[in-house]
Structure 1
């Protein structure tokens, strides 16, 4: 299947995609802060540069985009028909890198929570429940 937009427009669209401070990540950060927890962002000394790091608790949270990290339970996590020979290996490398990073963190004694973009956009209350359960009730509040 051919791409519906020009190569220049596609390139411009791809340049706009961010890796940090995405809308789903900001929702999670606001929820965590509202629950009274404090965290560090994108610690580069940890495998995978987790989005939120709770150092004393030895817990990290990754906020994954359904497309980029290939969420298997989500419609957005499917490989595009256009240029599939490019996308399939690229997205597969991301999946494998995620697995390696999570395994390395767990081997180092960290607990890992992965939140998917589609989960975050559905219910803030559900996300807060997941966060409370993962982080414990002992926030700063």
Structure 2
């Protein structure tokens, strides 16, 4: 299927997609800061440049977009245009995620992932519930944490 916009417009559209300071990330940051947690942002010294880093808790939190990380939810759909390109890209993103998880664990960091579908779409959870889960995880010693939208 041919793209419905010109390559120049598609390039502009793709360039406008944020990698940092996304809406889900800002929601998490605001809520966790209000709950009294202090953190660093996008620490380049750690594998994967985590979105939110809690040095005191030796924990990192990622706000993963369901499309870009190939999450199995209603927000992810394989694109019909350039399917080979997208399958390669999404599979590579998943491989990078697995390597980052292993590297962080090996370095002694706990890792949390909040999927976009937990904060957006028909399966979203109340923001207060998502923040409460994050707070509970941060105060625990559980190594891996993941929250996604309800089924």
Does 128-137 or 54-63 show the bigger shift? 128-137
Task: Quote how far apart the aligned CAs of 1:56 are.
Answer: 1.9
Q: Confirm or deny: 8 A CA contact 1:28 1:120 kept in the other structure.
A: no
Unaligned 5+ segments in structure 2 are 141-151
Q: Secondary structure at the match of 2:111?
A: strand
Unaligned 5+ segments in structure 1 are none
Q: Confirm or deny: 8 A CA contact 1:70 1:77 kept in the other structure.
A: yes
Matches within 5 A, 1:1-141: 1-72=1-72, 74-121=73-120, 122=124, 123-136=126-139
CA distance in 1, matches of 2:4, 2:115: 28
CA distance in 2, matches of 1:118, 1:4: 27
CA distance in 1, matches of 2:35, 2:100: 27
Task: Quote how far apart the aligned CAs of 1:4 are.
Answer: 1.9
Q: Secondary structure at the match of 2:19?
A: coil
Q: Confirm or deny: 8 A CA contact 1:105 1:111 kept in the other structure.
A: yes
Q: Secondary structure at the match of 1:46?
A: coil
CA distance in 1, matches of 2:103, 2:77: 26
- The Cα offsets for residues 91-139 of structure 1, whole Å up to 9 and x where unpaired, read as 11111001100111011111100011110232211211211211128xx
Q: Of the two structures, which has the highest relative contact order with CA contacts closer than 8 Å and spacing of 6 or more? A: 1
Number of residue pairs matched?
136
TM-align CA RMSD: 1.2
Instruction: Choose between structure 1 and 2: higher helix proportion.
Output: 1
